[in-house]
Amino acid sequence: MSTMMQPQIILLKEGTDTSQGKAQLVSNINAVMAVADVVRTTLGPRGMDKLIHDDKGNTTISNDGATIMKLLDIVHPAAKILVDIAKSQDSEVGDGTTTVVLLAGEFLKEAKPFIEDGVHPQNLIRSYRTASYLAIEKIKELAVSIEGKSLDEKRSLLAKCAATTLSSKLIGGEKEFFASMVVDSVLAIGNDDRLNMIGIKKVPGGTMRDSFLVNGVAFKKTFSYAGFEQQPKKFENPKILLLNIELELKSEKENAEIRLSDPLQYQSIVDAEWNIIYDKLDKCVKSGAKIVLSRLAIGDLGTQYFADRDIFCAGRVAEEDLQRVAAATGGTVQTSVNNVIDEVLGSCEIFEEKQVGNERFNIFSGCPSGQTATIVLRGGADQFIEEAERSLHDAIMIVRRAMKNSTVVAGGGAIDMEISRYLRQHARTIAGKSQLFINSYAKALEVIPRQLCDNAGFDATDVLNKLRQKHALASGEGALYGVDINTGGIADSYANFVWEPAVVKINAINAATEAACLILSVDETVKNPKSESAQGEAAAGAMGRGRGGGALRGRGRGMRRR
Amino acid sequence: MALAFDEYGRPFIILREQDQKSRLRGIDAQKSNISAAKAVARILRTSLGPKGMDKMLQSPDGEITITNDGATILEQMDVDNQIGKLMVELSRSQDYEIGDGTTGVVVMAGALLEQAERLLERGIHPIRIAEGFEMASKIAVEHLESVSNKFEFSASNIEPLVQTCMTTLSSKIVNRCKRDLAEIAVKAVMAVADLDRKDVNLDLIKVEGKVGGKLEDTELIYGILVDKDMSHPQMPKQIVDANIAILTCPFEPPKPKTKHKVDIDTVEKFQTLRQQEQKYFDDMVQKCKDVGATLVICQWGFDDEANHLLMHRNLPAVRWVGGVELELIAIATGGRIVPRFQELTPEKLGKAGLVREKSFGTTKDRMLYIEHCANSKAVTIFIRGGNKMMIEETKRSIHDALCVARNLIRNNSIVYGGGSAEISCSLAVEAAADKYPGVEQYAIRAFADALDSVPMALAENSGLQPIETLSAVKSQQTKDKYSWYGVDCNDVGTNDMREQNVFETLIGKQQQLLLATQVVKMILKIDDVISPSEY
């Protein structure tokens, strides 16, 4: 009998999970929708936060779509695409990460009944692409340019964009305060692309109103040795020397050994070593600098030597802080103390060591090039400050994008409603299946205002109907109407200064459509169980390594200060 | 976690280890978060006020802490719950920023959450509640400003400062001699304060404690106290007009840092090496003598040979003095820290009027007093007490008092304590609530109710009838338009806090309200908790 049976051809390794066809497509869509449901409630000014703990005991409280998606640790292959688009939105424009996930989920949800009815996915994909093209064109058409305005006007316009972003965050209560801070800091660094010139420092304690912007650089007091308190803590117009060398008594060569046959020479060796370090210190002093900063350690000898000569010094300054000081003060980081000329020294108007909460901060302000800014964030809890930092990051990105592509559109769902109306209108001119698909694309876009209402606890259907009616007015006067989050009605978003940069919307629609099309075009998943577990291990390994070299503790005979 | 299903109804996994994660969402998440936070607040509630009780905490390795300080209690409790941790951080922030009022801020946050829970049950959106609270806190903070008083003090008139510090200390275990401690704290702060810049560096105040004696023996030393003694028992115990050499180099032959090796192949060479070593010791002591030092304080040790030599040459020395203390000594005596013997000069010596060694009771412990220093910008508060726990608690209390004094130097506005400020805010917020349209009005009113809980807790802890007392004070405040009536915790007979001299700093109170509101908003805003199931 057995010879009668056809031998089964084994193509793939045992345990490989293959699923294919329509069923696969539908289950992928289900997975994506489940993920989109998780972030759904974070949208908008009445959006809620998520508290996520991982198994290592770290906790994050966040409202930022990209952060949440990253922390969810998604393993489903189709759903992972959503994480990627959230990330790409984050790195491209910095904000609208929730929007993009939501839109992708909604596009697929609208596509699901068609797939179940047997429409070929490629048809859907083609229509979606056309629709997204049309939508983007429409956004460009509707966008209002803020180019050519005076600086003051521009500043207030940018602040409005930042405020819209911040309104959905935890620090929304103080959005005007932070928005102007963000705009000031972005304007300070000008058109420079180096985002790391804006430093954000976090100090627990105080209320968020106590946060402040330093027009220059600020960093926490570094590890210091005895003698530090005797140094002067305030200078006006000091010269600043930036170093990348150790100013410590130490062996000059690691593996060298000195052999002495005559004990009398002993002293000369000792002297020689001391002379090397004294020589270095002396050169620092001779350069005329009043502040000496080094990325590497400045030992107790150096600290006391400088204290004697009324010079302020700080060792082990973090790399990025040192770079920022260099950019701000116009100095250059030196790797040797020989030939220190005036040109490499930086300067600023005022240097001061100040108490901020429980920490002491070194603050350099009034810097000549003024291409840096530091935001010192205060808040009641670590989690709070973390979230505030993420929110400010979003706002900074938005302001930067708005400065570059200076066009804005009305927020609060107004732009989404308008595109939706436009696409519906357009669909009617098409003969064929495509009409249905573009119509459903248009319907999917309405998810933004609908979710805004749902999160705020309003009757979404009611508000949406009002909005549709307003947008359908032939005169076009209703094009700027969006959800009014305070009363549960509708209002002119543009007039109420709910603005977002056009690029956020363009990128969100683009990315969401791409993701939706990608998922629609997949009809088979081959999941190899072994490689997956190997992947897991690799990821765990990388994490383990990352944790290793963290704590760089001050060594030597100094004392640890808070 | 919500499961997704495919065509055939098979569930599939989206998140890693999905089945091991638990998820709470919506109103359940908010309820459980609020109850966790409330539990923390309930623990602290009984510690509030002058009649508040202490908590005893035992650490995993058996160490016992008894304290009344909110921040310390929460820190030691080792809270595991995430929301509980937020409350701990809340109290810590108050501690960092203000130093006092760490219990009050948690009680306030707990009360706000309790009110919020009630509103949530009525179906009000959590963010609307949080926004209402924010509006209310703004009203309250402004109101505080209007009822605050400025008071004048100067270096010669420190009485008002002492009064305020006494209010802080009255809730602590040390309230028996609060007057003395308050005076010590204020004097210490005034000694190191920079009145022009309004800055106080608390690092310059050293707080030292020693078991034994009475609390009344606690003293303020204009100088430094070091828990060390002279390196040799026969050295003099008292030095008048000392010139102090402060060294960070050891009394031993210098060693090159590079790896080295001395080849000794003959007896002569060995002899010279030996002689050289002795010469080093000799030179070092001579150098110290040459510049006129009468006392050597060294960060490092020295061996018996050097010790003997120092003794012989009549140069008293102290060894193994820690870096922080060394620095304080340098600041106090106006000396410089010298890293190498070659750099010793007479100018670098520190001057102190009197250096003496003092022994305590029957113990052999001795401490070194360095007093009458050239520059008295560094002071020491020396605490005595019956047991270690008592001393630790006194240290914390003194720290609170120091912070209060510092805050007053920065900003000399005060409000009146005993719950009077809260009651008056509550009245103001209540009145303002009616002006707001919309749902926020309810939240603002709830904020006013939450404000009442502080005086209520005060009354409760003092054994008074909370509701009766509160309503009596409230009606009195409205009737007389006098916002200084508070809860008479100590049964003095009057509830005019101005007469009782119960003060608190304005910034401390404002900070409490703002911080509590901020954290409450954060807690209310969470509607989804995803955690591994073992939590």
ipTM of the complex: 0.78
* CB-based contact B528 A26, cutoff 8 Å: no
pLDDT at residue B529 in the model: 86
Mean pLDDT across the stretch A537-548?
40
Closest CB from B253, B260, B528 relative to A48: B528
What H or E segment, with its residue span, contains residue A500? strand A499-501
Domains detected in chain B: 20-150+416-532 (1.10.560.10), 223-375 (3.50.7.10)
pLDDT at residue A445 in the model: 92
Residue of B nearest to A274 (CA): B256
Which of A40, A109, A207, A248 to mutate to probe the B interface, most B CBs <10 Å?
A: A207
Threshold 0.95, pTM exceeds = no
Residue B335 clears pLDDT 60, i.e. is over it:
yes
Cβ neighbours of residue B63 closer than 8 Å, sequence gap 6 or more: none
User: What is the rounded CA–CA span in Å between residue A122 and residue A129?
Assistant: 10
Closest approach of A415 to chain B, Cα-based (Å)? 25
pLDDT at residue B406 in the model: 86
B477/A5: higher pLDDT: B477
Mean pLDDT across the stretch A17-42?
82
**A97-116 vs A22-40: helix crossing angle, rounded to 10:** 150
**Residue showing tokens 């098409």:** A430
Strand order in the sheet with B149-150: B149-150, B413-416, B503-505
* CB-based contact B527 A50, cutoff 8 Å: yes
How many CB atoms are closer than 10 A to CB B535? 14
Cβ neighbours of residue B106 closer than 8 Å, sequence gap 6 or more: B40, B41, B44, B70, B74, B87, B90, B91, B516
Cβ neighbours of residue B363 closer than 8 Å, sequence gap 6 or more: B212
Structure confidence by residue, pLDDT tens digits, A160-190 = 888 888 888 888 778 888 988 888 888 877 7
User: What is the rounded CA–CA span in Å between residue B11 and residue A76?
Assistant: 12
pLDDT at residue A550 in the model: 35
User: What is the rounded CA–CA span in Å between residue A427 and residue A357?
Assistant: 60
pLDDT at residue B61 in the model: 85
As given in the structure block, the two tokens for residue B9 are 């109804």
**Residue showing tokens 């908003």:** B521
As given in the structure block, the two tokens for residue A523 are 């009809």
Active-site residues of A, by number, are: 64, 97-98, 394
Mean pLDDT across the stretch A331-344?
84
pLDDT at residue A129 in the model: 93
From B524, B473, B505, select the one nearest B104 (Cα to Cα): B505
From A509, A514, A520, A515, select the one nearest A81 (Cα to Cα): A515
Report CA torsion sign: A387, B532, B23, B515. negative
Which of A108, A229, A267 to mutate to probe the B interface, most B CBs <10 Å?
A: A229
A81/A206: higher pLDDT: A81
Residue of B nearest to A354 (CA): B199
* CB-based contact B127 A46, cutoff 8 Å: yes
* CB-based contact A76 B96, cutoff 8 Å: no
User: Under DSSP, is residue A368 helix (H, G, I), strand (E, B) or coil?
Assistant: coil
pLDDT at residue A540 in the model: 42
* CB-based contact A304 B248, cutoff 8 Å: yes
Burial readout A1-35 (b: 16 or more C-beta within 10 A, e: otherwise): eeeeeeeeeeeeeeeeeebeeeebbbbbbbbbbbb
Phi-psi region of A96 (alpha: psi -120 to 50; beta: other; left: phi over 0): left
Structure confidence by residue, pLDDT tens digits, B422-459 = 999 999 999 999 888 888 899 999 999 999 988 999 89
SS (H, E, C) B355-383: EEEEECCCCCCEEEEEEEECCCCCEEEEE
